[in-house]
Structure 1
Amino acid sequence: MNAADLIQPQRAATEIPRQRGLLLALLIANSSMLAVYMGVGSVLLPTQIASIDPANKVAVLGVIGGISAIFATAFNPIAGALSDRSGRRNPWILGGAFLSCAGLVFLGTVRTALLLGIGWCLVQATMNTYQAAVTAIVPDRVPHSRRGAASALVGLALPVGGTLGVLIASRTADNLTTGYLILGALVAGSAALLSFFFRDVPRQRTAPEVSRQAKIAAFLSALSHHDFRWAFIGRALLVLGYFSVVGYQLYILDDHIALPEGMQPTEAMAVLTPVSMVAMAVSTVVGGVLSDRWNRRKVFVGVSAALAGLVTVIPVISPTWPGMLAFSVLNGLAFGCFMAVDTALVTLVLPKAEDAARDMGVLNIANAGPQIIAPFVASTVVTVTGGYGPLFLTGGALALLGALAILPIRGVR
């Protein structure tokens, strides 16, 4: 989940005092957060569900994943607004992290799907409290001259934290309690580091409170803009296709892919995730640089979305370990390039420059919303068709539709 849609308070002073080491602490804080999301969501939670209810694991994961995503999406703006109103970030960072740690420890003790679902919803709620406050630190405490470096480091949190989380979870899949405890301790330690060594910066709120009706009107006005609307649709379709497949990767490795003899699905995850994340990081940098150099956005976004759709055929035709490796590399390359260049594209089709922050927040719904829908889509496809091949094809079709949605955009080359 993201907190980019929050209206952040602005400092009254023109200069923000620099805090040495803050960017590194932000990288650690964001990486630990993504380690929890990826480690639990991709490995520990599916493993635990499979042990509790192996016959209905696909449907159970779909229900728990979908409902918990609603909690995450709701608590992020609520916690962000409360943090804004209090004028402080550190208490929310510490509170969210330590409550998440307690929730993760609780998850390691439960033995029913109901308690597992309740526990994961609580962790999503508290982790998004933590995330909302951490995300607000960049505009609060980072000088304008260092915002680029801050954004780059925060961007590195996905490959760093995602890889770390999956590696920890894969190594502890046989002892879930230990895995949950390590991930909980990781986020609690990161919160303590950030809060104890970097003080809150006083802020003065200058933006007026925005009513619910005004937010809805803003949402509708942004989507009434032709190019922005198509960019929104393209992003939503690509993200929905991506997370429909990725969220079920452990079960795919267990039930669909012929792994090498002696390799467990969790061990395969520990290989595939770093491979995909490295590919994603490379294509993010290369795609962003080349799109700037050639002054072309649509071709990069469209081609990468189309590639993300086409590569889903590989595990269908070749449900083997080499096939899955090839899919992970190409899918990582496609998704990384798409997200990097599509963000640049969106900044060029914003309806009004003065409403840029608000409209980028509207776009964020195209990131968060599909993640709520994806578990339901995936579990329905697998349950109805009885296999994972149709799930890959469904994800690919959604990505291809996302590529087609880029074509009507007129204001960007």
Structure 2
Amino acid sequence: MHSLPAPADQSSPVWVTGAARVRLQLSLMVNFFLLMALYSGVLGVLLPNQIAELSPGAKENNLALLFAITSIFSTLATPIAGALSDRTRSRWGRRAPWIAIASLIGSLCLFGVSLMTSFWSLMILWVMAAIAYNAMQPAMTTLIADRFAPVSRGGVSGIVGAGMTAGLTAGTVVAGYLAGERVLAYGLFAAAIAASCLAFVALNREPPSDTMPRRPIHWGSFFKSFWISPRAHPDFAWAFASRFTIYMGYQAVAAYLLYILRDYIGLADGASNIAIANMALLTLVCLVASSLISGWLSDRWQRRKPFVVLGSLIMGVAMTAPLLAPSMTGMWVYAGVIGIGYGMFMSIDMALMTQVLPKSALGDEGKDLGVLTTAVNIPQILSPVMAAILLGMFDNDYRAIFIAALLFVFGSALCVLPIRSVH
């Protein structure tokens, strides 16, 4: 890697340069593309279809239960794995072992899901896969803080964000068209992310960490370190709140999108699988364009907050389309506008998060970014449960979900405004 020699501590970060920088950017984009494709394809299409086949009369409640239990374990795994990666000492670096090993474990479990014939066996294997993938994700995310200078993180975040948002769309497209070939679909996602992560580690060698000072784990102080005081670090707290609220809104709709097309719009099962894939294609174009343009402008102007705020507001506008037009026309408008807003938010959000981390001489970026990632995982517990409760209260009227989602994503914009350390 064309970069400076690895320092003995965290006081002199190693910024990757030259061809190695480009390679790392593109590798991160590909890895996050495939990981988000896996999440969207499996959570948005494959699992809802499989659950509907196993328990048609209880599909909504079982899906909410799956999301809730999965997210409890994911929420715990993410910051703990991030903190342990900070302490990892090996010739391959701090992050690479987590990326390689966790991706293999997750992919084996994911393929096993395709063979399950009961809801609870499906649940157990999927939770195991989710724990592994969530142990891998903070290691990859932290490489942005580890290896890229702050002034260039908007562009990096834009490129990675474009990959992530494109992956969310591509995964839905692939899963929608392969929904009838369950084993093939699960196997394709599992093999792709495992191969990509192994190639990532081989192509982007981290500086060895085995010469860095050892950090023994004292379990009491270790777990106490996950509490980051909002009073001492208000910008971190506001960034957490912004991320939490926008994902509460976004996930409430995304988790039930297949059922929305069937029960709110009135499509048949086969038609809904095709429709969710075709909608995702429109979203893909809007996501990629919005992510790349926003990331480039953010670095050019050295501004983060306006893009995150505007992205949140645009997402709120998207939620109104199915309310005003409960038809495929409204869903097409939703698909396009949500792509623009979510692409803008997601591309800059990652750069903003790396710039509100508490300053630490110990190298706790993995742990702190893991804590921020729980702002995505916790809504995966709460938002499907909230949606199921709203459906029960309002006689399966999906408009209640869209209204709640609109309020949450607008609230996200308000949470960004008090942040002072980032413009």
By the TM > 0.5 criterion, same fold? yes
Q: 1:234 offset after TM fit, Å?
A: 3.1
Q: 1:378 offset after TM fit, Å?
A: 1.8
1:74 and 2:76 matched: yes
Q: Deviations over 1:277-317 (max 9, x none)?
A: 33233333444555677787665544443332343222123
Quick one: percent identity of the two aligned structures?
31
1:85 and 2:88 matched: yes
Greater displacement, 107-116 / 27-36: 27-36
1:121 and 2:121 matched: no
How far apart, CA to CA, are the structure 2 residues paired with 1:398 and 1:145?
29
Aligned to 1:335: 342
Answer yes or no: is the 8 Å Cα contact 1:219–1:359 preserved in 2: no
Q: Deviations over 1:70-125 (max 9, x none)?
A: 22222233344444424245544333222222212211111111111111101101
How far apart, CA to CA, are the structure 2 residues paired with 1:239 and 1:202?
36
Aligned to 2:276: 269
Q: 1:270 offset after TM fit, Å?
A: 1.2
Equivalent of 2:39 in 23, 37, 40 = 37
Equivalent positions of 1:111-260 (< 5 A) are 111-137=117-143, 142=147, 148=153, 150-197=156-203, 199=205, 201-203=207-209, 204-206=211-213, 208=215, 213=221, 216=224, 219-223=227-231, 225=233, 228-259=236-267
- 2:168 maps to a residue whose letter is G
How far apart, CA to CA, are the structure 2 residues paired with 1:402 and 1:251?
26
Q: Deviations over 1:370-391 (max 9, x none)?
A: 2332222122222332221111
TM-score of the pair, normalised by structure 1: 0.81
- 2:391 maps to a residue whose letter is V
How far apart, CA to CA, are the structure 1 residues paired with 2:326 and 2:188?
33
Q: Deviations over 1:340-385 (max 9, x none)?
A: 4556666777776989957666544433322332222122222332
CA shift in 2, pair 1:278/1:221, >3 Å = same
Equivalent of 1:322 in 309, 322, 329 = 329
Greater displacement, 378-387 / 400-409: 400-409
Q: 1:225 offset after TM fit, Å?
A: 5.0
CA shift in 2, pair 1:111/1:31, >3 Å = same
Answer yes or no: is the 8 Å Cα contact 1:11–1:205 preserved in 2: no
- 1:332 maps to a residue whose letter is G
Greater displacement, 149-158 / 243-252: 149-158
Q: 1:158 offset after TM fit, Å?
A: 0.8
CA shift in 2, pair 1:137/1:411, >3 Å = closer
**Structure 2, unaligned runs of 5 or more:** 1-8
TM-score of the pair, normalised by structure 2: 0.80
How far apart, CA to CA, are the structure 2 residues paired with 1:289 and 1:185?
32
CA shift in 2, pair 1:205/1:376, >3 Å = farther
How many residues align? The count is 403
Answer yes or no: is the 8 Å Cα contact 1:283–1:336 preserved in 2: yes
**Structure 1, unaligned runs of 5 or more:** 1-8
RMSD of aligned residue pairs (Cα, Å) = 3.8
Local SS of the residue matching 2:30: helix
How far apart, CA to CA, are the structure 1 residues paired with 2:231 and 2:370?
12
How far apart, CA to CA, are the structure 1 residues paired with 2:126 and 2:98?
19
Aligned to 1:387: 397
Local SS of the residue matching 1:205: coil
